[in-house]
Structure 1
């Protein structure tokens, strides 16, 4: 899939803000710990990806009622849905000067109903002319997302015949519809009912 860079200046994909708060001490500390196991940017990207995918629970899978959206909170609570986990991964990667974007898919049930937006990231590693999408949602039976820079290994492939789509835009900050849903949800069950159906 061809990704569309929304902002030509890569610095936008390295920025810290109130959501991707990679200047927060906990994000920095976690980044430093992960980097000790990684000799270069590629190894670090894989290590950070696997940490977020495997060590931070997807709250829909675990049943955790808390809703997180700020990267530092996701890392502290080790909990979040796909959007929140993407924010955490983006923060950890940007903390090591790896340009990271947020991207989204529109997915649905097997009968084409109940569409919802799914969040993932795209990274631009040194020496690569293209962006690579990574999905740190967390694996479970039927989901096997992996770190791969050549052939995408996302949690799900879209099925256009069911109204699903890959949004090609690389966002430097969370889409407002996503962030509004997270911020407005007092608990996970509320969030399940208010996920955006599209962008």
Structure 2
């Protein structure tokens, strides 16, 4: 899928902010440890992806009621939904100079009901012409996301016949609707009610 950067300025996809706080000591420490184990951008990106996918449970799977949204908090609590896990992965990638952004899908139940916006990321490794989407949501029965650059292996394939959508925009910062849902929810139960159904 061809992504459309919302901000064509490449430094925007390396920037730190309140959410993607890759200057935070915990983010730096985690990035440094992962980098030491790899040593090049491709290997680092794969290991960072697997670290977020596999060591930070999706709170919908784990039942954790806490809501995290800042990358450093996601790493500290080892908890988050797809948006939060994406924030953590983008922060880890940017901490080592790998341009990364946020992207979204609109998903639904098998009958097309209960639409919800799902968050994932895209990165661009040195020498790559295009952005490659990756989904650190976390695997479970029926979900098998893997790090891939040539052909996507995301957690979910969209089904247009059910109204599902791959949004083509690539964001340097979280979409306001996704961030508002996270920041405005006291616990996961409230978050489920606040999740956007479309962008």
Fold conserved (TM > 0.5)?
A: yes
Q: Tell me, which stretches of 5 or more residues in structure 1 are unaligned? A: none
Give secondary structure in 1 for the equivalent of 2:47: helix
1:188 aligns with 2:188: yes
Q: CA deviation at 1:101?
A: 0.6
Aligned to 1:133: 133
**Number of the residue aligned with 1:119:** 119
Q: Does 1:95 align with 2:95?
A: yes
Structure-to-structure mapping, 1:1-199, within 5 angstroms: 1-199=1-199
**Structure 1: distance between partners of 2:138 and 2:37:** 21
Distance 1:80 1:21 in 2: 16
Counterpart-to-counterpart distance in 1, 2:168 and 2:112: 21
SS in 2 for 1:57: coil
Q: CA deviation at 1:6?
A: 1.6
* Structure 2 unmatched ranges of 5 or more: none
Any runs of at least 4 consecutive aligned residues in structure 1 with deviations exceeding 3 A, and if so which? none
Query: How far apart are 1:116 and its partner, in Å?
Result: 0.3
Distance across 1 between alignment mates of 2:36 and 2:153: 26
For 1:6 and 1:112, locate their aligned partners in 2 and report how far apart those are by CA, in whole Å.
28
The count of aligned residue pairs is 199
- Using the TM superposition, give the Cα deviation of residue 9 of structure 1 relative to its aligned residue in structure 2, in angstroms: 1.2
The CA distance in 1 between the partners of 2:151 and 2:8, in whole Å, is: 25
CA RMSD of aligned residues (A): 0.5
CA offsets 1:4-39 (integer angstroms, 9 cap, x no match):
112121000000000000000000000001111112
Secondary structure of the residue aligned to 2:17 is coil
Q: Structure 2: how far apart are the matches of 1:9 and 1:194?
A: 31
* TM-score, structure 1 as length reference: 0.99
- Structure 1 CA distance, aligned partners of 2:117 and 2:38? 32
User: 76-85 or 3-12, which moves further after superposition?
Assistant: 3-12
